[in-house]
Amino acid sequence: MRMTSIKMKKMLEKRFENPDWKLSFDRDHDIFRIEWKDTGQGIDISLPGFISKWEAKKDEAIDELEEHIKEALKVMHEKQDLKGKENHIFPVIRSGSFPVETKDGRRLVHRDHTAETRIYYALDLGKSYRLIDESLLKSEGWTEERVKEVASFNVRSLPTDMKKDEVAGNTFYFVATKDGYDASRILNEALLEEMKARAEGELAVAVPHQDVLIFADIKNEIGYDILAQMTMQFFAEGRIPITSLAFLYENKKLEPIFILAKNKKKDDQD
């Protein structure tokens, strides 16, 4: 049976039936939305992307989505504060196209990272987290700088256990603890410098989705192709995709590999 957006919409309506929630479907953009009736706060689900995950995992994909969405909606409806929760504030990486404000107009605390990615800040709530916005800061008397400093300190305290794999003479390392901040570890400069010192070739880094950080010790041209394919696959499968591009780490800076490759070809032609 070929899954369509209309069929998936009906499946999701059964899963998220609740008298306190309003369910809607935007046919033009293939977006299914669940929101609280009293506040209008809610979550959008892009059906084409989710259908591809459903085709690979079937009911398991819907079970996972239901768990995450219901937890997120619950958190969204609760009053949060930052008092005494300094140890629970972390940075999170999102794509450069991720919104910088909520649907009800609250500006999210963020800063630039690379041309492809942006850094946001989250209050960890156990099973989920809330992105920190300006209204939460004002109610607590916090400054953006304080949030950023606390989050930067906390991300350095996260464990960095890795799995290692050798492919065609290249070495790949994976951080995938599933704590919600795997990609955030790309902000740990000490870790990046440690991996740079360990690399025998060029060090590449990728954050295709929230729950993985990939380091690649690239020793030959095949390594770039393998990393590109790997990153694209992770990006397609991730619950919160970030970017399908990998970065080269050089002189404490991250540069998208395709840009450097184009520049290199141009230099060779000159």
How many Å apart are CA 241 and CA 110, to the nearest integer?
18
How many Å apart are CA 206 and CA 37, to the nearest integer?
39
What digits encode the pLDDT tens for the residues 135-187? Answer: 888 877 889 999 999 999 999 999 999 999 999 999 999 999 989 899 999 99
What digits encode the pLDDT tens for the residues 112-124? Answer: 999 899 999 999 9
- pLDDT of 262 over the 80 cut: no
253 beta partners:
250
Query: What sign for the dihedral angle of Cα 68, 115, 153, 137?
Result: negative
Mean per-residue pLDDT of the chain: 88
> Residue 147: how many CB atoms within 10 A of its CB?
22
26 beta partners:
31
Q: What percent of the chain has pLDDT over 90?
A: 60
pLDDT at 205: 97
pLDDT at 56: 83
Give domain limits for the chain.
5-77, 86-156, 163-269
Which of residues 56 and 98 earns the better pLDDT score?
Answer: 98
Which of residues 105 and 110 earns the better pLDDT score?
Answer: 110
Which of residues 139 and 105 earns the better pLDDT score?
Answer: 105
What digits encode the pLDDT tens for the residues 216-253? Answer: 999 999 999 999 999 999 998 888 899 999 999 999 99
State mean pLDDT over 52-67. 87
- Rounded to the nearest 5 degrees, what angle is found at the Cα of 237, between the Cα atoms of 235 and 242? 30
| 188 SS3 class | coil
How many Å apart are CA 50 and CA 62, to the nearest integer?
9
pLDDT at 80: 66
Residues 6 or more apart from 247 whose CB is under 8 A from it?
A: 114, 204, 205, 206, 254, 255, 256, 257
State mean pLDDT over 63-72. 86
Task: Flag whether the pTM goes above 0.85.
Answer: no
What digits encode the pLDDT tens for the residues 19-35? Answer: 999 999 999 889 999 98
198: pLDDT confidence band, cut at 50, 70 and 90?
very high
